Chains A and B, each alone.
Chain A
Amino acid sequence: MWLMQAAKMKAIQTIEDLLALSQQEELVDLPNNYPLSASEDEGDSDEERKHQKLLQAISSLDKKNRWKLAERSEASLTVSEFNVSSEGSGERLGLSDLLEPVKASSSFAVMKKQLNKVKSKKTVELPLNKEEVKQIHREIAFNKTSQTLSKWDPIVLKNRQAEQLVFPLEKGQSGFIPTELVFSGWKARTPLEQEVFNLLHKNKQPVTDCLLAPMEKASLKAMSLEEAKMHRAELQRARALQSYYEARAKREKKIKSKQFHRHVKKEKAKKTLKDFDQLWKVNPTAAMDELEKIEKARMIERMSLKHQNSGRWAKSKTIMAKYDLEARQAVQEQLAKNKELTQKLQVISESEEEKRGVGEEEPLIPDVVNEVQMCADGPNPWMLRNCNSNGKEGEIQADPDQLPEPVVQKFSKSKEDKKPSAEEEILLQEFGERRCLRKNFCLNQDTDPVGSQETKDSSSQDILAKLRTLNQKLKENHHSSKQTVNRAGTVLQVQKEECVLEEEESLLCQRAERVQILVELDEGKEEHFQNEELPRPLLKWEQMKRNPNNQTDVPKEKKKEQVIDLQNLLTKSPFMKSLAIPTAVEELEDEEERNLKQMIKEAFAGDDVIRDFLKEKREAVETNKPKDVDLMLPGWGKWGGVGLRPSAKKRRRFLIKAPEGPPRKDKNLPNVIISEKRNIHATAHQVQVLPYPFTHHQQFERTIQTPVGSLWNTQRAFQKLTTPKVVTKPGHIIKPIKAEDVGCHPSSKLGLSVMQSTTAQPTRNKKQLKKNSGD
């Protein structure tokens, strides 16, 4: 302030001076300025005051507050112009105070402007000391780093709470590692390795460049891309077609309609015929080959055991045939089918001419021809029969005994046998015959080559049959027409005969069934009576059945007898069984039980477990009862000694009765002893205080009660329950966690480069820090 005054005294020589002064605000030591002010004060009149001031100044030299304002303690007229007080505006003397006197004069306008400018500028703060600055820097840096670190929080938390941690954390390199890299620096050392490499070298297999072998490369070169594409497309198409075809076949196979399948078969047969015809026209040799093939297939078919009674299915069906109509039919169908083939055998054995297939249809030969043939042929009883069966009225010419032909020998046999025997017997016999035949056939055909081909399903067989007829036809072309007719006739004959056989058999089956059912309805005791009665409706029914067939009465009668016999057979046995068995069985069981009990009784005769247990329980109850305390002293107040008993009164007096305890828990449970004693030995193993993480004893108990072992848990649960918390791979280095491993990028990658720059330019760095602090 002194300085200010001095400056004013000099009448503010230049504006610059003033500016500098006002900006500086630094207080200059008094001693430098004092003389200046003193010399200028010489003109002052007030000596006393001067002196006082001087004293004041001197006294304040060594004190801190040197710049005390002069106080005006009393009102006076003469106010020193140097002694400006700034009481109104606080302690500081503002620039405005100085400018006030200049207000009036306009000459100072420029200066005023400049001074106003100065006034608007703020004063610069005192720089902080070094330590404080450093501290600020440190705090900022710390906040920053803790912020970056807090990005790890979720990861750390996750890892701490993880059920299982598997180390090392980083996943194995899933990327492709070129073989060259792996291979370089590796040599075959062991003999096995060397051998392998030798092999590789010999075969010109690539060792380092693993992608393609030279052969593969060559093949690649051979086919261009377009070709390959075309090829691929073709293959694709073929595959697609195949799949369509398969799907269609499947669908068709699933269709249950028999009619449909029959239709399909026929269609197929026709088609093959047509094809064959065409082939014959176009290429006869090929057709012949085809024929031969067919021939061979047929032979194989005949040699095979197919459609015989030896298969599992056939056996089961024969067993079931007794009871089941359908099964019987099935068996017979099969027999018929087999017959077709065996029939052929006979033909072969007889003559070359008759080597013809037996088809169900003979489309090439009209019925008319057949008839003619029949007429032309001699008195063949079979044929006659067939004629009859074809719908014309007639009688049975001959007994089956009269049948002379070897062709139908076995059939006639069966016919004969049928009469006395039951149906199942017939069937069995037939099978037996078949077996014999097969044996014969095998003996006969030993020389024949056995092909590997086998026709499996019935449809194929049908086709086979067709082709056979075709074959026949072809051969016929070489022979005379008469012969043709003949042959056709025979074929037809055989066929017809078969039909009849089938019909009869089915009839028989049905009859037997009927009888059985009826018999079962009635009581078994009325057997004889029934036998008399039953046939009547049966006969009627038979007649009705037979009317279309026009069978004679004689066989009917015989059949009836058979049926009765059969009935007897059938009825007697099951009824006996049905009546006797259950009761017998029950009795047996009762007996068995009794026996068993007896045995057990005998075995454990010595030890009565129940009584023992009751005794044990009684003892346990006794021992656990609170006991009376007897305080009696014998001889006290009375004579004592051997044979002397203290009086009852005394005894009663000195006996302290034990209080009745609470009722036993097993009082009402006869089979249980509940010990209410606490087991002291167990307490040593029990947890006394609830352990730390648990808040309630139930929690703890529950954790203990859930078993961990595989005996009480499923395998998977066991594995889950026993997973270790930390899994480490032996021999693997576990590296510190990385942001990349975890999948986040918490820290910016500044590192060393930043640090270097900061050290190189410390000043700039500081400025940056300042900025940061400002933020």
Chain B
Amino acid sequence: MKVKMLSRNPDNYVRETKLDLQRVPRNYDPTLHPFEVSREYVRALNATKLERVFAKPFLASLDGHRDGVNCLAKHPKSLATVLSGACDGEVRIWNLTKRKCIRTIQAHEGFVRGICTRFCGTSFFTVGDDKTVKQWKMDAPGYGEEEEPLHTILGKTVYTGIDHHWKDPAFATCGQQVDIWDEQRTNPICSMTWGFDSINSVKFNPIETFLLGSCASDRNIVLYDMRQATPLKKVILDMRTNTICWNPMEAFIFTAANEDYNLYTFDMRALDTPVMVHMDHVSAVLDVDYCPTGKEFVSASFDKSIRIFPVDRSRSREVYHTKRMQHVICVRWTADSKYIMCGSDEMNIRLWKANASEKLGVLASRERAAQDYNQKLKEKFQHHPNIKRIARHRHLPKSIYSQIQEQRIMREARRRKELNRRKHSKPGSVPVVSERKKHVVAVVK
């Protein structure tokens, strides 16, 4: 008589190679897994700890400049190429993969104030303290040829900044006024002024390319329309804005790096209130650059650190510093959104990972799945006190740490004073002004 038995297909439990993962049949009934939350919590805790363990963001330092690095520019077509201008008028082109300088140009006498690449990546422009705008070829000259600019424009005043249009052969410089140049002409095709103070920087909007933003020494940010050759609006803040940067994914959003240690994200259609005030720096913010995904930006500060802010958060998610890094003057986020470069006073350009604990290189699919899972867990349990504490913990240099403490005390004192004043005066006479509105002095039409 035949005996009937339970039989299983070996295909279901025998793996073909040892690399295969066995599919374990599993009952997902939640009543059978009473400890899922606690297990996930432990996993999240471990993931957070490991993230801090592996957080080693510093990748390389590019040294070669003989003076402080004053400006940086990305190559629009090549991820490995970076251009930098120094305070002694030297421009260097770097290869990031080799971490070497591939070309050196003595471009100006005095500072290189601004540098920008053409949208096609064939040439770049520099402005310097010698009142000139120079256009250079991206490729090095052949053997025996002299290093010479393609074009040189001699201006009447000093130019303090330059930016190239994202699509057309036009660029804008700033100084006494904002000039817009055609590449083929030696005179600006239009110059726009509003007020009489010197302008620090000018930036083209990468999406609506006819828009420009500039910031001047008289504490204001001015927006221009290139098509109508007219300024649009001006917002005056508490202190001077050093530079602005447009969000590459949201046409009307820009962030301003201010001297009052804060960064302000504005919607350009409603300048009277910034969308977000980003505060964490303890000294003037000198430069800002957006991540190409438009979700985050990086800021360089006089307090010798760079910070990464999510666009929708007022506090930074990351701070990078090294012992040797001095005042950071310029910072750029690479076009693949993976790295950050910063140029600082002590003549070095540093390369950082944008995500401190990210593993570089190709990931196996299982590795990636595990990474995603860990990320999700961290996100899920982010409010739990232990996890929050570990995730937020950063080591800071003493100067910054003490500054933060000091400023916290100051802020607290101010707040208390205001409260007291409100308490002891007629109700309504001392209105509550939100942090966002506090810093905007006026909007000029």
Contact = CB atoms under 8 A, between A and B. Distances in A.
Interface string B362-387: 10000001001101110011011110
Interface in A323-337: none
B226 interface: yes
B249 A712 contact: no
Nearest to B45: A685
Interface stretch (B84-92, B99-107, B202-210, B416-424): B202-210
B26 A141 contact: no
Contacts of B294: 159, 737
Interface string B40-76: 1101000000000000000000000000000000001
Contact of A149 (B36, B37, B268): B268
Given A152-B252, A751-B167, A734 B335 contact: yes
A580 interface: no
A736 B207 contact: yes
B33 to A, nearest CB: 6
28 contacts: A138-B232, A141-B225, A144-B225, A145-B225, A146-B268, A149-B208, A150-B252, A152-B251, A684-B386, A687-B383, A691-B383, A703-B380, A707-B36, A708-B373, A709-B373, A722-B373, A723-B372, A728-B293, A728-B336, A728-B337, A734-B336, A735-B335, A737-B250, A747-B210, A751-B209, A752-B170, A755-B227, A758-B229
Of listed B26, B229, B384, residue having the most chain A CB within 10 A: B229
A167 interface: yes
A731 B233 CA distance: 39
A142 interface: yes
Contacts, number: 185
Interface string A731-758: 1111111110000001100111011101
A709 B189 contact: no
B207 A152 contact: yes
A759 B269 contact: no
B190 interface: yes
Contacts of B209: 751
Contact of A734 (B207, B252, B253, B293): B293
A688 interface: yes
Contacts of A212: none
A419 B376 CA distance: 84
Nearest to B354: A728
A704 interface: yes
B142 interface: no
Interface in A680-710: 684-688, 691, 700, 703-705, 707-710
Interface in B310-351: 335-338
Interface of B: 26, 28, 30, 33, 36-37, 39-41, 43, 76-77, 79, 165-170, 180, 182, 189-190, 206-211, 223, 225-233, 248-253, 268-269, 292-295, 335-338, 362, 369, 372-373, 375-377, 380-381, 383-386, 445
Contacts of B337: 167, 728, 734
Given A139-B445, A708-B380, A734-B335, A145 B170 contact: no
Contacts of B168: 751-752
A713 interface: yes
Contacts of B28: 712-714
A633 interface: no
A751 B36 contact: no
B180 A755 contact: yes
Contacts of A141: 225, 228, 230, 232
B362 to A, nearest CB: 8
A737 B377 contact: no
A691 B381 CA distance: 11
A756 B189 contact: yes
Contacts of A363: none
A240 interface: no
Q: How large is the interface on A (under 10, 10 to 19, 20 to 34, 35 or more residues)?
A: 35 or more
Contacts of A710: 373
B180 A685 contact: no
A721 interface: yes
Contact of A731 (B231, B293, B336): B336
B182 A752 contact: yes
A250 B206 CA distance: 68
Contacts of B445: 135, 138-139, 142
Contact of A707 (B37, B189, B211): B37
Contacts of B226: 751-752, 755
A210 interface: no
A123 B338 CA distance: 67
Contacts of B384: 685-687
A137 interface: yes
Contacts of B43: 709
B32 to A, nearest CB: 10
A750 B207 contact: no
Interface string A156-172: 10010000010100000
A145 B249 contact: no
A736 B249 contact: yes
A736 B166 contact: yes
Contacts of A728: 293, 336-338
A700 B380 CA distance: 10
A436 B268 CA distance: 103
Those 5 A-B pairs whose CB atoms lie nearest each other, nearest first: A734-B292, A736-B206, A736-B248, A691-B383, A146-B269
Interface string A283-309: 000000000000000000000000000
Contacts of A148: 208
Given A705-B37, A733-B335, A755-B189, A750 B210 contact: yes
Contacts of B232: 138, 141-142, 145
Contacts of B180: 755
Contacts of B208: 145, 148-149, 746-747
B376 A708 contact: yes
A713 B33 CA distance: 11
A753 to B, nearest CB: 9
B269 A711 contact: no
Contacts of A752: 165, 168-170, 182, 226
B295 A685 contact: no
Contacts of B167: 751
A705 B76 CA distance: 46
A603 interface: no
Nearest to A747: B208
A134 B194 CA distance: 10
A738 B376 CA distance: 30
A177 interface: no
Contacts of B383: 687, 691, 700
B269 A150 contact: yes
Contacts of B377: 708
A254 B310 CA distance: 70
B271 to A, nearest CB: 10
Contacts of A145: 208, 211, 225, 232
Contact of A709 (B40, B225, B268, B335): B40
A758 B376 CA distance: 54
Contacts of B76: 733
A668 B102 CA distance: 83
Given A149-B268, A736-B206, A685 B37 contact: no
A405 B249 CA distance: 103
Given A142-B232, A146-B268, A733-B335, 11 more contacts: A135-B445, A150-B269, A159-B294, A687-B385, A691-B383, A712-B36, A723-B372, A731-B336, A755-B180, A755-B190, A758-B227
Contact of B251 (A149, A700, A714, A719): A149
A704 B381 contact: yes
A50 B375 CA distance: 99
A724 interface: yes
Most interface-central of A159, A704, A724, A733 (chain B CB within 10 A): A733
A688 B252 contact: no
A686 B41 CA distance: 11
B189 to A, nearest CB: 6
Contacts of A722: 369, 372-373, 375-376
A718 to B, nearest CB: 8
